[in-house]
Structure 1
Amino acid sequence: MNRRSLMTLAAATGLTALAACSPMATTSQPDIVGVLSTNDQFSTLVAAVTAADLVETLQGDGPFTVFAPTDTAFAKLPAGTVETLLLPENRDTLVSILTYHVVPGAVTSDQLAGQTLSVATVEGSNVDIDGTHGVRVDGATVTQADIMASNGVIHRIDSVLMP
């Protein structure tokens, strides 16, 4: 890829300056799906990623920043919502919701500290990030930041984000 194409691609992510100085995990670490799969508090998210056929995508090179809702976050949704989203006929809606939780580039909490940003997600819409008092994403609180994976970083959040 020539330099101009690389710069155009980097600029398209919206987080070029932040992601450029992000410490990346070593390749001996599991990828994002591997990290999520080994943590019981993300079992609903892993089931949703599987149902949406996004496993291979989140195992790709990335890097990605994933705002990962816990099982407790999914439980806050109205009764039956998760079960309905997991149905094959609702795959497009599920993909939209899940990709709204993913931002291109690996961005750690120290890069967000003290900033308020509107950042493009993989889904295409922007999320509002407020790093002035901890980190909040579209109103969800980051309850554990900087869970490193070989292809990005995961931030555990307490609510499901809706595009």
Structure 2
Amino acid sequence: MNKLTIALASAASLAIVACAEEPAENVAYEDAATADQMANAEAETGTVVEVAQGDETFSTLVSAVTAADLGATLSGDGPFTVFAPTNDAFAKIPEATLTELTTNDTETLGNILTYHVVAGNVDAATLLQAIEGAGADGYSIETVNGGTLTATVVDGNVVLTDAAGGTATVTATDVAASNGVIHVIDTVLMPQ
């Protein structure tokens, strides 16, 4: 009986050791599966317009892009860097003004919206590096409408200053899109 018990104990020990090694193989497999899933997710990421459409906090921006007939442009190849105002940012604009822009003055609306777009894919790390290299006056960013924004770091936050002297704080960065990147801002920037 003792020989049987020892044999069973030995077999159980071998089984436990064998099982202990299996998770390492499974973890590697799971890591590979996760990497594949992440690659697929990146491949499935929509354009900057589609990403904004998928997030309710940008519903006013999406409506404005539609009113200004910029959807097709911002769904193009890019790459684009978009400083995207949230619904709360648009709420800072008087309702009558916003209604006028989205219904009757869509040319001005288009000018305002393209002031939030930069050619190229500028992630947060690249922007911070450019700001640090620019010195105290801040980093000048040329927008696709030909205007300029000035980026600085204030109390640890990236702040954009527009042509009218208004400021917007970047509240979230590096929202990936298939044709660029989105940085979320808390105020609508004005070209003049």
Same-fold call, TM cutoff 0.5:
yes
Aligned counterpart for 2:148 among listed residues 126, 142, 154: 126
Query: Which whole-Å deviations, capped at 9, do the CAs of 1:47-66 have from their partners, x for residues lacking one?
Result: 00000000000100000000
Greater per-residue helix proportion: 2
Higher mean displacement: 114-123 or 31-40: 114-123
When Rg is computed on C-alpha atoms for both structures, the one with the higher figure is 2
2:181 corresponding residue in structure 1 = 153
- Equivalent residues of 1:67, 1:101 under 8 A apart: yes
After TM superposition, what 4+ stretches of structure 1 lie above 4 angstroms from structure 2? Answer: none
- Equivalent residues of 1:112, 1:131 under 8 A apart: no
* Secondary structure of 2:146's aligned partner: coil
Pair 131,105 (structure 1): closer, same or farther in 2 beyond 3 Å? farther
Matches within 5 A, 1:10-49: 26-49=42-65
Aligned counterpart for 2:107 among listed residues 74, 92, 101: 92
Unpaired runs of 5+ residues, structure 2, are: 1-40, 132-137, 162-166
Q: What is the RMSD computed on CA atoms of the aligned residues? A: 1.4
2:23 corresponding residue in structure 1 = none
Unpaired runs of 5+ residues, structure 1, are: 1-24
Kindly state the Cα deviation for residue 39 of structure 1 after the two structures are TM-superposed.
0.4
2:170 corresponding residue in structure 1 = 142
TM-score for the superposition, normalised by structure 1: 0.80
Kindly state the Cα deviation for residue 135 of structure 1 after the two structures are TM-superposed.
1.2
CA distance in 2, matches of 1:160, 1:143: 13
Q: Which residue identity lines up with residue 60 of structure 2 in the other structure?
A: T
